[in-house]
Amino acid sequence: MSLLLLFAIVLMAACVTVTVAAYRWRAERLRSGALAATATADEATAAVARHLRAARWLALPLAVLVSVLAYLAFDDLAIFAIPALAALSAVVCWLVAETTAPLPPPASVREASLAPRDLYEYAGRRRTFLTRASLGLAFATLAVAALLADRQGSGLEISCSAGGATTSPFPGLTYTSLTAVALVALAVMSEFAMLRIANRPDPAGAEAKPADELLRRSSAGAIVRTTMGAALVVIFGVTLTGGIGLLHLDGVCDARMQENLGYLFLTVTFASALAMAILLVDTALAAGRSAAERVRS
């Protein structure tokens, strides 16, 4: 538990440090002017697009590296946390990219709008709601599994007059504490990244606005899909393991209630698998629409 607490502190400190460093770096670039005053709207937008595209390519190997390091450090205790940690590393990478994106030159004339941007403008209210609901369901799943587990947090045990019944492993706190920490960090950093996308300065004037809006929608969509996907994978893993454990209690007790819970867990497993399939289809369709819009722009 002390190692988990240390990891949680280090994880939060790393997220804060990276974000603060990115903002300080952005401030330096703002003072010096990141884009030339003679840059056209197309050149300015292309510079931002290259910057964000590089972050997209960096996010994948970074997620794999973080996942491998987590498994090497915690072994099986990190098995449920790996999706959340991988998504967290990718979201932090995209947040840094949005924060350090090329800025308009100090002397450029910029247009302002009285209507403030918000995260729903680019991610959509439905997708944002589904992402938050997925995270909430993931936390609820972890809480239910933790309440069902034994005192050690790694198995399930029930007692009766005839003896007892046990099963192990079971996704109790021993296996899911790290997952809960990673999900909290992922939820916070995702919301922060969405706000940053909405408030990133325009790289050029009105001529570049359609292309820049496309970049914002693409980044916001990537973040909500990554966060939602990580939450669904966590739900899938915890309910599958927990459901199988509840259906395979070894002992002499009547475990009818536990069996019913096991079937409920496996129902949630099936629903999360279906949601992941729908999310994959939506991601593929979004990639196709984004490519078509880039061609038109």
Give the residue extent of every domain in the chain: 2-103+120-296
C-alpha angle with apex 116: 111 to 118, nearest 5 degrees?
Answer: 125
Q: Which residue has the tokens 């019944």?
A: 165
Residue type, position 80, single letter: F
Distance between CA atoms of 280 and 176, rounded to whole angstroms? 25
* Integer angstrom CA distances of residue 114 from 111, 119, 126, 143: 10, 16, 25, 43
Residue 258 has pLDDT above 80, yes or no: no
Phi, psi of 37 (to 5 degrees): -65, -20
Residue 39 has pLDDT above 90, yes or no: no
Q: Which residues pair with 250 in a beta bridge?
A: 166
Distance between CA atoms of 274 and 224, rounded to whole angstroms? 18
pLDDT value at residue 121: 75
- Long-range pairs of 44-48 with CB within 8 A, sequence gap ≥ 24: 44/102, 44/104, 44/203, 44/204, 44/208, 45/203, 45/204, 45/208, 45/211, 45/212, 45/215, 47/102, 47/203, 48/101, 48/102, 48/203, 48/212, 48/215
pLDDT value at residue 116: 56
Beta strand segments in 96-172, E: 156-160, 163-167
Comparison of pLDDT for 277 and 75, the residue scoring more = 277
CA atoms within 13 A on the CB side of 34: 22
pLDDT value at residue 31: 43
Residue 187 has pLDDT above 70, yes or no: yes
- Among 183, 182, 175, 177, smallest CA distance to 241 is for 175
* Integer angstrom CA distances of residue 286 from 53, 123, 214, 289: 16, 12, 12, 5
Write out the H or E segment, with its range, that includes residue 77.
Answer: none
Q: Would you state the torsion angle of the CA atoms of residues 255, 258, 264, 267, taken in this order, to the nearest 10 degrees?
A: -70
172-181 mean pLDDT: 87
199-226 mean pLDDT: 76
Residue 151 has pLDDT above 50, yes or no: yes
- pLDDT confidence of 213, banded at 50, 70, 90? confident
105-132 mean pLDDT: 69
Determine contact, residues 35/104, Cβ cutoff 8 Å. Answer: yes
> Is the preceding peptide bond at 210 cis, omega within 30 degrees of 0?
no
Write out the H or E segment, with its range, that includes residue 250.
Answer: strand 250-251
3-state DSSP call for residue 66? Answer: helix
Residue 68 has pLDDT above 70, yes or no: yes
Distance between CA atoms of 191 and 91, rounded to whole angstroms? 10
